[in-house]
A and B are shown apart, each in its own frame.
Chain A
């Protein structure tokens, strides 16, 4: 792969004709797929699939982003034939210890396979190593510069266009050289606007432990009505996720708020706010367990795929809000925004979550408390004050939500996102619709039970991945009233 291409920037994007409002599709298909997590920590691999549920060929941009600041660690395109599925694995290469993407089928990619780090089949190949160029050299952001920064993060897939005629034939017949250089394709007559119908799934697998944590990608429909290519520009430099189509009167998002589907409009210079609006979360809701008798632990993976648009210093594309700090402002390798945590036991009784203890000197791996500080954070329930790796996922991005008082084995946890003192952060209102309270996130709950009392010969690690539920709420901080 051409590493120089990945030291890149975010681009101003194409103007497009009128479109319907974007929305999160509860059916799970869309033009854009957001995968909350990948990891290679603790002996795990992350397997994923991208399926084209339509009979039309598509070209899809693939972006893997690291957990600190959402900087790019791998970008390329995959060309899906009709009803094609593309699968891959993110793993630690036994050859170099670096995070790699392994390819598991023959769908075409651009760059083509011959340009990948490891085009052969040895060491888990064919594979492409993740690349640090977007956070090193001229692209440093104040965060770590080591290769270990690429060991966990999230990823997003964006449909660029549908393909017809000879390009569709090339996609379906795996004539991959046709896609080796996407520049001429950017203006090709066989491009059609993206039309959605992609679906995605992922699973974090630990073969030795017999565990699998799985879920589906969050799907955004109505993202664009024009192909995602800019004539005369290298397609690999184009940040497709930053480029939802804008109509003459702005860009619209439809969000379920308090029992209604509310429409929001943002001006063109805040088009990425429409994406944040879709994900705005006043509170995350889910279950937690830490029962000694069951050997159970709960963690919540919380990803903010649009955080970089707001909080990545010189790369930001819109205002900082609803985030509280730019990357580096609240610590050299973080951009923290506080949350409040409320635990209710199974009876509905409120259980206090107390901060601390604050140890002096601080323990060597002291996680942030009541803070989301990265593009991906893993809130570990009832975790110890020193947390080098979270108990379930082995994440280095552990965060704590206090200590339950009295100690509580299981309950319902609610994280109220975006807290500054007695104020709440909010996504400012656009040209239509109210402000939205909280932070733009997606996430899932990872639960693991370890049972040593079973039938001999059965390794009893039970794991479960389940999407977190959430609540949206409009904010009085906006100029428009709540509907």
Chain B
């Protein structure tokens, strides 16, 4: 199996295409590209995911798991979804040569490419594939850690490559999986059509022993591509479908909800990836936080930047660094930090100061505290993370926003990306039409856990919930100053 994934050192493509409409986040939850903010195998947890083809047409979709530091690929393969097919999988910890390692297992017979017959093996009666470190080791080092622990948490995305019909449709329905193993030949054949959306995705982070479950839906991007995202020459494992947004012409368009308006944006071909960043741009993230001793509650926010690698992966970037502040492992070791301001309001709307941890308090880290430093960060608000990671998710990446003064148990928290140097606020530079957008391209969710020992004597009840974070956006002029959107 591993040789099939060895060509993961990414090759990014810009596909020529036919006219289509502009990429946007679909509030209804279906689309061509699905962005999942988190997977983890830490602290005994598993991450269950599902992707559903809600259409009566067969779809080929690329699945990419990416590690949290720099968004490097830890597993990429394709899944073939027959009409109305559901594909489910689970990331879990599995022993590899007596060391715990991250893996994905399937309990589903939808065809995959490579097929499950060449996956690592069988665990708990189902095929599984270990995550693979080749994209950050073995000649692909990026300055970050090179050990297998780097693969224990991250994010993933699923991108529709094409629709399949004729004999390929039949093969998908009948699970004749051998038919799909040469995707270059399929790309050259007559039985593919451009993607048309209608995928939906969901995820849940489960700790069976603790009785906890955090769930959510994938962020769905519609009108992502008007051409099939397959090549007759490039190994599909090396084809970065998520980097191949297009609307068929020489430029790429995006439609973004800003304030009460829908703003149209156009980017030239060499900045195509900016269209995806644009639809995710967040001037501020807001959500609830709770750390009530009486309720045993703790909140963490998972904040993921799925397009950060396009801007900030020093050797792989496909466009300008902005809106990020530094490339990975340049200014910050093992990281690329963009600072934020944290503003907490109690339930009365009073501003509560939140200050960084005192120097020397655990955990020891050289990274700035109030900053998004990775592709995925877990921001914790309760006790400072210890050797087992953050209190709720057991995360090892992220930062701590604690120490409210005066002490405050619940409130509304807003994280506002701020700039460095002469740039007060980060912004995505304008394209060939439309304004710039302030902030960073982020998605995320709130994970809240209550531990109640007072329900029934001798019974410990854990209540958990996951809820999307809300965001606001703002237009800017050419130097990043907020302006009224056109």
- Asked if A462 contacts B213 (CB within 8 A), the reply is yes
Q: Are B455 and A51 in contact (CB under 8 A)?
A: no
Known contacts: A459-B211, A464-B213. The answer to whether A29 contacts B85 by CB under 8 A is no
* 12 interchain pairs, CB-CB under 8 A: A31-B260, A83-B414, A86-B347, A210-B452, A210-B463, A216-B470, A348-B173, A449-B213, A454-B209, A458-B462, A464-B215, A469-B220
A83-B345, A174-B348, A344-B84 given; A210·B197 CB < 8 A:
no
Instruction: Establish whether residues B28 and A471, one from each chain, have CB atoms under 8 Å apart when the complex forms.
Output: yes
Complex CA–CA separation, A197 to B259 (angstroms): 8
A4: chain B residues within 8 A (beta carbon): none
Chain B residues in 8 Å Cβ range of A342: 84
User: Known contacts being A53-B284, A199-B286, A458-B460, is A261 close to B467, with CB within 8 Å?
Assistant: no
Minimal beta-carbon separation of B434 from chain A (angstroms): 15
Query: Is B262 in contact with A23, judged by CB distance below 8 angstroms?
Result: yes
Q: How far is the CA of A204 from the CA of B456 in the complex (A)?
A: 20
Chain A nearest Cβ from B100, distance in angstroms: 21
B403 to chain A, nearest CB (A): 19
In the complex, A306 Cα to B255 Cα: how many Å?
27
A27 to B24, CA, bound (A): 12
* Distance in angstroms between the alpha carbons of A466 and B216 in the assembled complex: 6
Say yes or no: A462 contacts B255, CB within 8 Å.
no
Contacts of B196 in A (CB 8 A): 259
On B, residues with C-beta under 8 Å from A are: 21, 24-30, 50, 52-54, 81-88, 108-110, 173, 175, 196-198, 200, 202, 204, 206, 208-213, 215-217, 219-220, 222-223, 255, 257, 259-262, 282, 284, 286, 288, 343, 345, 347-349, 351, 411-412, 414, 450, 452, 455-456, 458-473
Residues of A within 8 A of B414 (CB): 53, 83
Residue of B whose beta carbon sits closest to that of A196: B260
- Structural contact, A27 and B472, CB atoms closer than 8 A: yes
- A52-88: CB near B (< 8 Å → 1, else 0) gives 1100000000000000000000000000111111110
Answer yes or no: A403 CB below 8 A from chain B CBs.
no
Assembled-state Cα–Cα distance A336/B79 (Å): 40
Could you tell me if A412 and B348 are in contact, using CB atoms closer than 8 angstroms? no
Give the CA-CA distance A202 to B372 in the complex, in Å: 28
Q: Which residue on B lies nearest to A211, using beta carbons? A: B463
Give the residue name and chain of the A residue nearest to B29 (CB): A469
Closest CB-CB distance, A158 to chain B, in whole Å?
A: 15
- Would B259 and A221 count as touching, CB distance under 8 A? yes
Give the complex CA separation of A467 and B462 in angstroms. Answer: 22
In the complex, what residue of chain B is closest to A348 when comparing beta carbons? B85
The 4 closest A-B pairs by CB, nearest first: A210-B461, A469-B29, A348-B85, A84-B349
Residue pair B84, A350 in contact (C-beta under 8 Å) = yes
Q: Which residues of B contact A348 (CB under 8 A)?
A: 53, 81-86, 110, 173
A93 at the interface (CB under 8 A from B): no
Q: Kindly report which residue of chain A lies nearest to residue B459, judged by CB atoms.
A: A459
Q: Which residues of B contact A209 (CB under 8 A)?
A: 461
Do B470 and A27 have beta carbons less than 8 Å apart? yes
Contact partner, A21, options B83, B262, B458, B464, Cβ 8 Å: B262
B349 touches A26 (CB 8 A): no
In this complex, how many residues of chain A approach chain B with their Cβ under 8 Å: the count is: 85
Beyond A27-B471, A210-B462, A261-B262, whether A471 also contacts B198 by CB under 8 A is: yes
Tell me if A146 counts as interface (CB < 8 A to partner B): no
B412 contacts across to A, CB distance below 8 A: 51, 53, 83, 85
- Asked if A2 lies at the interface with its beta carbon under 8 angstroms from chain B, I say no
A196 with B470: in contact, given A85-B411, A174-B348 (CB under 8 Å)? no
Whether the Cβ atoms of B260 and A222 lie closer than 8 Å is yes
Task: Given the known inter-chain contacts A83-B412, A216-B468, A466-B202, please indicate yes or no for A458 contacting B211, CB distance below 8 A.
Answer: yes
**Contact residue among A85, A196, A459 (Cβ-Cβ distance under 8 Å from B456):** A459
Chain B: minimal CB distance from A49 (Å):
6
| Chain B proximity of A225: nearest CB distance (Å) | 9
Given contacts A27-B472, A212-B464, A467-B29, contact A346 B108 (CB under 8 A): yes
Q: Which residues of A contact B81 (CB under 8 A)?
A: 348
Rounded to whole Å, the gap between the CB of A340 and the closest CB of chain B is 14
Q: How far, in whole Å, are A81 and B255 apart by their CA atoms in the complex?
A: 32
Shortest Cβ distance from B58 into A: residue? A348
Q: How far is it, in angstroms, between the C-alpha of A449 and the C-alpha of B471 when the chains are bound?
A: 31
Asked whether, in the complex, the Cβ of A285 is within 8 Å of the Cβ of B345, the reply is: no
Q: Mark A410-450, 1 if CB is under 8 A from B, else 0.
A: 01101000000000000000000000000000000000010
B204 CB contacts on chain A under 8 angstroms? 464
Are A49 and B288 interface neighbours, CB within 8 A? yes
Chain A nearest Cβ from B367, distance in angstroms: 28
Is B347 in contact with A105, judged by CB distance below 8 angstroms?
Answer: yes
The yes or no answer to A385 lying at the interface (CB within 8 A) is no
| In-complex Cβ contact of A346 among B88, B345, B349 (8 A) | B88
Query: In the assembly, what is the distance between CA of A463 and CA of B212, in Å?
Result: 8
A25-B257 CB under 8 A given contacts A85-B347, A215-B467, A260-B21: yes
Give A residues with C-beta under 8 Å from B.
20-21, 23-29, 31, 49, 51-53, 80-87, 104-107, 172, 174, 195-197, 199, 201, 203, 205, 207-216, 221-222, 254, 256, 259-261, 283, 285, 287, 342, 344-348, 350, 411-412, 414, 449, 451, 454-455, 457-472
Q: Contact between A216 and B467 (Cβ–Cβ < 8 Å)?
A: yes
Distance between Cα atoms of A12 and B108 in the complex (Å): 55
Q: Report the separation of the CA atoms of residues A210 and B460 in the bound assembly, to the nearest whole angstrom.
A: 9
Contacts of A466 in B (CB 8 A): 202, 215-217
Which of A49, A345, A462 gathers the greatest number of chain B CB atoms within 10 Å?
Answer: A462
- Contact of A201 with B348 at beta-carbon distance under 8 Å, contacts A23-B257, A350-B84, A458-B209 already known: no
* Nearest opposing residue in chain B for A457, CB measure: B460
Q: Check B461 against A459 for contact (C-beta < 8 Å).
A: yes
Q: Closest residue of chain A to B264, judged by CB?
A: A261
Chain B residues, Cβ within 8 Å of A472: 28
Q: A26-B27, A256-B26 are in contact. Are A106 and B348 (CB under 8 A)?
A: yes
Task: Check B54–A27 contact: CB distance below 8 A.
Answer: no
A470 contact from B29, B108, B472, Cβ within 8 A: B29
In the complex, which residue of chain A has the Cβ closest to the Cβ of B411? A85
**Complex Cα–Cα for A348 and B82 (A):** 7
Given A81-B348, A259-B222; A469-B28 close (CB under 8 Å): yes
The answer to whether A24 touches B27 (Cβ under 8 A) is yes
Residues of B within 8 A of A49 (CB): 288
The minimal Cβ–Cβ distance linking A92 to chain B, given in whole angstroms, is 18
A82 to B412, CA, bound (A): 11
Contact A259 B197 (CB under 8 A): yes
Q: Assuming A215-B467, A466-B202, what are 12 further A-B pairs, CB within 8 angstroms?
A: A23-B27, A23-B257, A25-B257, A27-B471, A53-B472, A208-B456, A256-B27, A260-B223, A344-B85, A454-B209, A459-B456, A469-B30
Min distance, Cβ A366 to any Cβ of chain B, angstroms: 30
Q: Are B54 and A461 in contact (CB under 8 A)?
A: no
- With A208-B455, A457-B459, A471-B30 as given contacts, are A29 and B465 in contact (CB-CB < 8 Å)? no
Q: How many whole Å from A439's CB to the nearest CB in chain B?
A: 14
Complex contact A454–B21 (CB within 8 A): no
Q: How far is the CA of A259 from the CA of B32 in the complex (A)?
A: 9
Residues of A within 8 A of B345 (CB): 83-85
Question: B175 contacts which chain A residues (CB < 8 A)?
Answer: 347
Are B54 and A287 within 8 A (Cβ)?
no
Shortest distance from the beta carbon of B60 to any chain A beta carbon, whole Å: 14
CA distance A321 to B197 in the complex (A): 29
Q: How far is the CB of A22 from chain B (nearest CB, A)?
A: 9
